[in-house]
Structure 1
Amino acid sequence: MKMKITILEDSVIESERLKNGIRKYGQQYDWDIEIDEYESGEEYFSKNSEGTTIQASAFFLDIQMGQMNGIEVAKRLRESGYQGIIVFLTAFREYVFRGYEVRALNYLLKPVKENTLFLCLDEIAKELSNNTYIYRNKQEIVSIPYADILTFSSRLHYVDILTVDGKCYEQMSTLNKIIVHLPSEFIRTHRSYIVNMAHIYRITSGTIELSNHLTTQIARSYSKDVISAFTKYTTRFDTSGDFE
């Protein structure tokens, strides 16, 4: 399989560490990985004219670099229509939640460790593979990428599947039947809702705000489990271990 990764990192040491780890992953799992690298957002945008299709499978963005920081680069990529994967590189944990402003997959804490990077690349590979929910009704069968699903919500004998492009698919089923077949990033937040944690932007008292600014309620009986699961999800790449 093929993967194209673009790295924006102003530290030569960190960039080399990341490239070596990505290449090792590609050799180990037989991925054909192409790597582009830039020292800043300014360099990237000067060499890649806006309006053209962005071919990168994933961006690894250093948050603190040059005049244009990683958050600003990510926002500009999204404004240009890029819907792919963004991962932030940072030495500061407090930046993690800012990633949800631009639908970042997650963050990697610098110096990036090999096992942490491999977990991240596993998830990118999963995103790029045929990882989809199969929606069926009497008229059609549609393959919906899990990454594009915001919520499943129940309505009488039906479940509505809401996607990032605003589409809603109505399926005769129940949340209890559906959730057992979903990936771990989906969590029950209410007896009537399942939410994709990859699209959670903010959690406040009893409320979840998603990347499309939709808000849903967290039932009191689910609150503890939701907060625990979301905390684990946002720090799932933060593990110990070093490059060999």
Structure 2
Amino acid sequence: MGTFHLLALEDNIEYQDVLRDMLAQYPGADCLNVDIISSIATLEALIASGDHIDVFLCDISLGDGKPTGIDLVRRHFPAGSGTQVVYISGHIEYCTPVYETEHAYFLLKPIKQADFNAAIDKALKNLQGTDYTPVAIQHGGAVTMLNPAEIEYIESDRRKVRLYAAPGEVLETYATLGQMIDMLPDDFVQCHKSYIVNMAHISELRTASVLLRSGVEVPVSQRQRKVIRDLFYRYVGLNAQ
């Protein structure tokens, strides 16, 4: 593991000290080059200088009349930028608006060290996408080695399954959903008797479905609704409530 630049934007000076303590206690602290700043102007000056930010730890509410952390992420770290965003807030009402942007985790103040560690672990895991072991998919007489992170969802159709990968690739192979779950990482959950979804691609939980960032809506069975909600909340860091 190399060294990653973590930049934290927190306008509350006292909470900056909390973050420093948590970062010092993080088990992988040696792999982090940490900067903690208090102003949007400093953030924008760093970006303008070409400073690369691997992990952006950002408070959401930054003062009356100022852009929110969500605004800043939308402006400076859009989907595909490579920067892993971890939101921090004392306001639970932000847990839905954060899904307007791509992010790794949402931490609710007061933050527990275990949740903080999980958030940084997730961000670093995302940066090291090669941690996923590629899966071999046989289809049409060929074998494709596919990175699980690229798979959005899987659909069962009798004795076959179709894997929908980003961007727009579809692979069909003979298998069951049970076999697919066994070969994929824990990010994948069966949400319906005919569907598996990759939680990393979910942008919104709905009553009877999940909406993916690609705009695709995947059904969730009534039996699985609470299971999927609990698993997804844990996945994005909302289990602290």
Flag whether TM exceeds 0.5 (same fold).
yes
SS at match of 1:5: strand
The worse-fitting range, judged by mean Cα deviation, of 57-66 and 230-239 is 230-239
Deviations 1:1-44 (CA, angstroms, capped at 9, x unpaired): 2222111111122223213322332xx44742111333233431
**Does the Cα contact within 8 Å between 1:63 and 1:71 map onto a contact in 2?**
yes
Task: Look up the match of 1:92.
Answer: 91
C-alpha displacement at 1:81, in angstroms? 4.3
Question: Compared with structure 1, are the counterparts of its residues 4 and 49 closer, same or farther at alpha carbon in structure 2 (3 Å cutoff)?
Answer: same
| Residue of structure 2 in register with 1:135 after alignment | 135
- 1:1-244 to 2 correspondence within 5 Å? 1=1, 2-25=3-26, 28-29=27-28, 31-49=30-48, 55-66=52-63, 67-79=66-78, 81-129=80-128, 130-136=130-136, 137=138, 139-146=142-149, 148-236=150-238, 238=240
Q: Distance in 1 between matches of 2:122 and 2:236?
A: 13
> Shift in Å at residue 183 of structure 1?
3.0
Q: Structure 2 counterpart of 1:72, which letter?
A: D
Q: List gaps (5 residues or longer) in structure 2.
A: none
Match for 1:135: what amino acid?
V
Count of paired positions: 234
Deviations 1:28-72 (A, max 9, x none): 44742111333233431233139x6x7322211110115121010
Does the 8 A contact of 2:154 with 2:162 survive in 1?
yes
Matches of 2:218 and 2:200, distance apart in 1? 15
C-alpha contact 2:58 2:88 (8 A) present in aligned 1? yes
Q: Residue 212 of structure 1: CA displacement?
A: 1.9
Distance 1:88 1:229 in 2: 19
Q: Normalising by the residue count of structure 1, what TM-score does the alignment of the two structures yield?
A: 0.81
> Quick check: 1:23–1:33 contact (8 Å CA) kept in 2?
no
Whichever residue aligns with residue 142 of structure 1, its letter is: M
Higher RCO (CA 8 Å, separation ≥ 6 residues): 1
Show the counterpart of 1:242.
Answer: none
Instruction: Quote the Cα distance in structure 1 between the aligned partners of 2:28 and 2:42.
Output: 31
Secondary structure of 1:103's match?
A: coil
Cα distance in 2, alignment partners of residues 160 and 79 from structure 1: 29
Given the two structures, how large is their TM-score scaled by the length of structure 2?
A: 0.82
C-alpha contact (below 8 Å) 1:42/1:68 kept by paired residues: no
Task: Report the secondary structure of 1:73's partner residue.
Answer: helix
Structure 2: distance between partners of 1:211 and 1:81? 12
Query: Any gaps of 5 or more consecutive residues in structure 1?
Result: 240-244
Contact 1:186 1:196 in 2 (8 A): yes
d(CA) in 2 for partners of 1:78 and 1:164? 20
